[in-house]
Amino acid sequence: MKLLSTALFAGAAALAFTTSAQAEADGEAVYNQACMACHMTGAAGAPIKGDADAWAPRIEKGMETLYDHSLNGFNAMPAKGGNASLSDEEVKAAVDYMVAESQ
């Protein structure tokens, strides 16, 4: 019984850590991994990170629209920047990072 209790406690602790880690997605790291190729060069019309003029009309549409476009794809941008393994939270963190760097 003690072994089962220890195993359950360890499992719960691991789940709590995983949930916490997912909640704290690193937007800059996700940008560097999945977004930078287009959002650093402007490939396929992507707004360049840091270009306030290019980002302003997009930001005016609201964060929910930016999240929707990044999660589901928009124009030439594939869903999740082409990396389907990213969680929604990671994608949103990358959007948050790009917006913060572009205002």
Please report, for the chain, the start and end positions of each structural domain, with discontinuous segments joined by +.
Answer: 26-101
Residue 93: partners with Cβ closer than 8 Å, 6 or more residues away: 25, 26, 27, 30
What does the pLDDT look like over 3-19, one tens digit per residue? 544 444 444 444 444 44
Extract the tokens encoding 77: 């941008």
pTM over 0.85? The answer is no
Amino acid, single-letter form, for residue 29: A
Over residues 55-67, the pLDDT tens digits come to: 999 999 999 999 9
> Tens digit of pLDDT for each residue in 33-90?
999 999 999 999 999 999 999 999 999 999 999 999 999 999 999 999 999 999 999 9
Separation of alpha carbons 81 and 69, rounded Å: 10
CATH topology of domain 26-101: Cytochrome Bc1 Complex; Chain D, domain 2 (1.10.760)
Q: H-helix or E-strand containing 53?
A: helix 52-60
